Amino acid sequence: MHIVSTPIGNLGDMTLRALAVLQQVAVICCEDTRHSRPLLDRFGIRTATVALHEHNEASVLPRVLARLAAGESVALISDAGTPLVSDPGARLVEATLSAGHRVVPVPGASATLAALVASGLTPHPFTVLGFPARKGKEREEQLALAARSPHAVVFFESPNRLVDTLRDLTTICGTTRQAAVARELTKHFEEIRRGTLVELAAYYDTAPPRGEIVLVLAGGVTEAPSEDGLHAIAADLRAQGFRPRDIVRMLMDEHGASRNLAYRLAHDT
């Protein structure tokens, strides 16, 4: 089975490999066949399609697996961009692999990566949280997780909820946290606006946004532990049974220790 990325707006981003795969497979699983049809027609792709979305994925799975078992090739596409990332298809991929079939990625457009590289913020490492919950404890926990992150966090958001999300993040992160709002990526009215959460909330409160939105939140500044603090962390990790090489990696990756210091602390008995 092929997981095929499709354009997020500009049809010129369709790759030659994606076109070849979609023309050659026996069937294309689409998040919405009505949405995908204009794209397929634009490139003269006449392959049969079947709808596969969050409401019917469980019932469609057996039919797709039967096709794979019969030796047919199948492709999966979403409405735009790369499937599975805040889109349906995860259960299909899991079932395909469990049945012993190969899953082949066909890379292409990604709203997440496009927003990250154009945000002006440090793009790596990063976390994708997708669409935040609309309300309640789940939303509070998601936004709090983003606020604590030492690296960039990517959200998808609807235009009518963007300002509320920016304001809620301001309450948790403070007024100086940097962010970027990427709107209508690769399309005619593409806009990437950068600033603090307060500035962005004020702007979009007076200029209501339209279209599809990716919000990139800068990582929070965290103070590195002192050497004594790192020594205590290393001792605790040893007590938990971690090996020295694992302790070195964790001190470097999670606490910002230099390699030499991490190595010394990991082996200090």
Tens digit of each residue's pLDDT (9 = 90 or more) over 138-197: 999 999 999 989 999 999 999 999 999 999 999 988 889 999 999 999 999 999 999 999
For the cut 60, the answer to whether the pLDDT of residue 223 exceeds it is no
* pLDDT at residue 169, rounded to an integer: 95
For the cut 60, the answer to whether the pLDDT of residue 216 exceeds it is yes
Residue 147 lies inside a defined structural domain of this protein? yes
Give per-residue pLDDT as tens, 91-119.
999 999 999 999 999 999 999 999 999 99
Residue 146 lies inside a defined structural domain of this protein? yes
Residues 252 and 161 in one domain: no
Look up the CATH number of the domain holding residue 20: 3.40.1010.10
240 band by pLDDT with thresholds 50, 70 and 90: confident
Mean pLDDT of the chain: 92
Residues 61 and 102 in one domain: yes
Q: pTM value?
A: 0.78
**How many domains is the chain partitioned into structurally?**
3
List, in sequence order, the alpha helices (H) in 119-181: 136-148, 162-173
Q: What is the side-by-side strand order in the sheet with 48-51?
A: 48-51, 27-30, 74-77, 2-4, 104-106
What average pLDDT score do residues 17-29 get?
98
Residues 187 and 260 in one domain: no
Cα radius of gyration rounded to whole Å, the chain: 22
Distance CA 147, CA 84 (A): 25
Residues 130 and 208 in one domain: yes
pLDDT, greater one: 30 or 254: 30
Residue 222 lies inside a defined structural domain of this protein? no
Residues 18 and 32 in one domain: yes
Distance CA 151, CA 114 (A): 17
Residue 28 lies inside a defined structural domain of this protein? yes
Residues 35 and 86 in one domain: yes
For 49, residues 6+ apart whose C-beta sits below 8 A from its C-beta are 27, 28, 29, 30, 33, 36, 37, 40
Structure tokens at 215: 């919000």
Look up the CATH number of the domain holding residue 190: 3.30.950.10
> Which sign, positive or negative, has the C-alpha torsion 124, 128, 132, 137?
negative
Residue numbers of the domain that contains 74: 2-106
Give per-residue pLDDT as tens, 27-65.
999 999 999 999 999 999 999 999 999 889 889 999 999
High-pLDDT (> 70) share of the chain, %: 97
